[in-house]
Structure 1
Amino acid sequence: MPLAAQFSEYGTTDELTVVEVPDKSPGPGQVRLAVRAAGVNPIDWKLLSGAMRAQMLLQLPAGLGSDVAGVVDQLGEGVSTWQVGDEVLGSSASPAFAQSAVADAGALVAKPAGLPWEVAGGIAGAGATAWTVIDDLALAAGETLLIHAAAGGVGTMAAQVALARGARVIGTAGPDKHELLRSLGVEPVTYGEGLADRVRALSPAGVDAVLDASGRGEIPVSIELAGGPERVLTLVAFDQAASGVRIHVGGGGADSAPAVAGIVGLIQEGRLRVPVARTFPLADVAAALELSRAGHVAGKLVVLPV
C-alpha cells in the first residue's frame, strides 16, 4: 500500500504521521498519479492547526497537500486527454503529501520534458495565484509594481509574470534575499521602518500597483505609495477590507489550469524560473510545514514522496 502523511487531530506538526493507506481509484473524469513531488503552501499548516475549520472542515484522519506533479498510472471513466505514463503537474483532488494521489483530468497540464520534478511540484498553487493576481491588477507595460514578500513562492512568480509583461518590479525582502531578487530582475528594498522613503528613492512618483503577499502591516504604506487603495491587492491581510484595498481569496481560482499553463509557458520560454528553497522526503513533511509556518523562505518548499 502507498504511504501518506496524515493527522488524526488538529494541532501542531507533532500530529503528523506517515502511514500506509489504501490504494485510491480515480473517479469519472479523474486520473491517479504516482506522485513525484508536492509543493508546500501556507494553507497546509493552517489546515493542520485547525485555523481554517470554519472554511474547510476536514474528515479526520486527513492528509495535506494540493500542488502535485507525477506520472499518470490509472485513468478514470471518460478520460481521454491523458494516457498512462504521461508526466503531468497541477492540482490534486486528494492529499498530495503521499505516494499516490488522484486529480481531476482538467486540473493538470503536461510537464515539459527536462523540467525537474521538484520544480514541477511547486508550480500550481503559487503559480496560478501569481498569474491571476497580475491579471486582476491589470498591470500594463511600463507600469511599476511593488511586491511585499517578493522572495516568497507567490512573490517570485508574480514578479516574473509582471516583468514578462513589460512592467517594472520593486520587491521587499530581507537583505539576505536581495541577490535572489536581483537575479530575477527585481529591484530589492528592505522592508520595515522607512520603507516609503526607500521605494521613493527608486521610484520618486510612487508605484502604480501593489501586491501584498506579506501581511505584516504594509497596507498603509502601500496605499500611500500607490496614491490610493484601488490597485493595492493583498493575499493575506484580510482584516484590511475597510481600507478599500482588494482582498484576493481562492488562490488561482476553481479553474486554475490555464494559469498554470501560462506559468509553464513562461518557463519554457526561459522567462520564468521557480526557485526551490529546499526539498524534503515524505518522512520529513513535518519539518517542511514548520519551515513554511516560520516564514521568510526564499522560494518553494517541496516534498518528494519517492
Structure 2
Amino acid sequence: MRAAVFDRFGPPDVLHVVHIPDPQPGPGEVRVRVLAAGVQPFDVGVRQGNMPWAKVEFPQTIGQEYAGVVDALGEGVRDLAVGDPVLGSTMLNGNAELLCVAAANVVRKPHNLDFPTAAALVAASQTASGALLELGVGEGDVLLVHAAAGSVGTVATQLARLAGATVIGSASFDNHSRVRRQGALPVPYGEELIAAVRDTGLQPTAALDGAGAEAIAQSVALGISPDRIGTIVDDKAAAEHGVRVVRAGRDPERLARVIALAAEGKVLMPVQAFPLSEVVEAHRAVESRHSHGKVVLIIEP
C-alpha cells in the first residue's frame, strides 16, 4: 500500500509517499481502506519533532483522522461488515491507503455525508464538543471563540449555537463572512479584539481559545471567570492566568453525535483537499495557519 512517511524531523519536505506492506487486522480490529484523511496541527508538531511524548520510529507514518470503507475483519468482530463506510481516530497511520483500528472505536459514516467531510470532522468534533462540555456552555451563554475560523472553532461555534448560546468569534477580516455564516458575530483578533467585543454590547460568559498567548489575557480582561475560560493550545498562558487547559479525549460516542448533526446539515465543515501525492503541500497549508477550511488528503485507490 501507499503511505506518507518521514525519515527525520523537519519541514514539510521531509514527507514522501512510499509503498509499505499491507497491515493485517488483529483480534477485535478492522482494516479500513482509507478514502480521505485529515491533516491537523498535531501532525505538523510530530513531523517537526515538537511532540516528544509521541512515539516515533523512522520511517514513521503519520495521520490521526480517517474516513473509508471496511475491507477486512479481525477475529471476533461481529458488528461491522466488509463494505461498511466508517470514520474515526487513529494514531500516526491515517495518511495511508489502509489502516487497522479497534472495531470498538469505529464510527459508522451516514450515507449522506461525503468521505472528505467525514474525515475533516473527526478531531475537531471531539475536541470542540468535549471543550464545550467542560466549560458548561449552554442556553443563555455568550461564548467568545478565539480562532473561530479554525477547524475546532468552526465546530465549537455551531455546537454552541445549537445549545442555545450566542457566539462571538475572532478571525482575520478575510474570514469574517465565514464566521458570520457559522452563526457567530465576527470580531478581529489582536489588539482590536477587546474594544470590538465590547462594541457588540454583549458580555461574554465563557471563552474557548484556539489562538493562545494574548487571547487568554484578553478573555480575562473582558471579565470572564477564569474557570470558564479554556484553551486547547497554550498551557503556559493558561497556568499564568489560572484558566483551564481543555484536553477532551477521544470519544467515539461524542464523535458519532456530531457526525449525526453534520449528516442533518446542522454542522458544516469547509474542506481544502489535496491528493495523497501532495502531502507536502497539505502540511504547508496547515503550517501556514491560513488554509481555507480543514485540510484533507484524498486517497484514490
Shorter-chain TM-score range: over 0.9
Name which of 125, 128, 149 aligns with 1:127. 125
- Match in the other structure for 1:118: 116
Residue number among 220, 229, 234 corresponding to 1:232 in the alignment:
229
Give, in angstroms, the shift of residue 17 of structure 1.
1.2
Pair 1:29 & 2:28 matched: yes
Match in the other structure for 1:176: 174
Cα distance in structure 2, aligned partners of 1:296 and 1:11: 20
The two structures, once aligned, show a CA RMSD in angstroms of 1.3
Matched residue of 1:271: which SS?
coil
The answer to whether the 8 Å contact 1:99/1:305 transfers is yes
Q: How big is the shift at 1:114?
A: 2.3
Deviation beyond 2 Å, 4+ runs, structure 1: 296-299
The residue identity in structure 1 corresponding to 2:16 is: T
Specify the SS of the correspondent of 2:222. Answer: helix
- What is the alpha-carbon distance in structure 1 between the residues aligned to residue 234 and residue 92 of structure 2? 28
Q: Could you tell me which residue of structure 1 aligns to residue 280 of structure 2?
A: 286
Q: Which runs of 5+ in 2 are unaligned?
A: none
- 1:62 and 2:56 matched: no
Q: How does 1:37-76 map to 2 (within 5 A)?
A: 37-53=36-52, 55-76=53-74
Distance in 2 (CA, whole Å) between partners of 1:158 and 1:226 is 21
Aligned to 1:77: 75
Which residue pairs with 1:162 in the alignment? 160
Q: TM-score, normalised by structure 1?
A: 0.95
- Whole-Å separation in 2 of the counterparts to 1:281 and 1:270: 26
In structure 1, the gaps of 5 or more residues are: none
Please report how far the alpha carbon of residue 186 of structure 1 lies from its aligned counterpart in structure 2 after TM superposition.
1.0
- In the alignment, which residue of structure 2 is the partner of 1:149? 147
The secondary structure found in structure 2 opposite 1:28 is coil
Alignment of 1:193-204 (within 5 A): 193-204=191-202
Of 264, 267, 273, the match for 2:262: 267
Please state whether the residue corresponding to 1:122 is helix, strand or coil.
helix
Q: Write the letter of the residue equivalent to 2:62.
A: L
For normalisation by structure 2, the TM-score amounts to: 0.96
1:187 to 172, 185, 188: 185
Deviations 1:203-251 (A, max 9, x none): 34x20000000114211111122433111100111112131110123xx
Q: Are residues 1:91 and 2:95 paired?
A: no
Q: Take 2:27 and 2:214, find their aligned partners in 1: how far apart are those partners? A: 45
> Given the alignment of the two structures, is residue 221 of structure 1 paired with residue 215 of structure 2, yes or no?
no
1:264-292 superposed Cα distances (whole Å, 9 cap, x missing partner) = 1211332111111x101111011111110
Give the match for residue 6 of structure 2: 7
Equivalents in 2 of 1:139, 1:184: separation in Å? 17
SS of corresponding position for 2:79: coil
The amino acid of 2:218's aligned partner reads V
How many aligned positions are there? Answer: 299
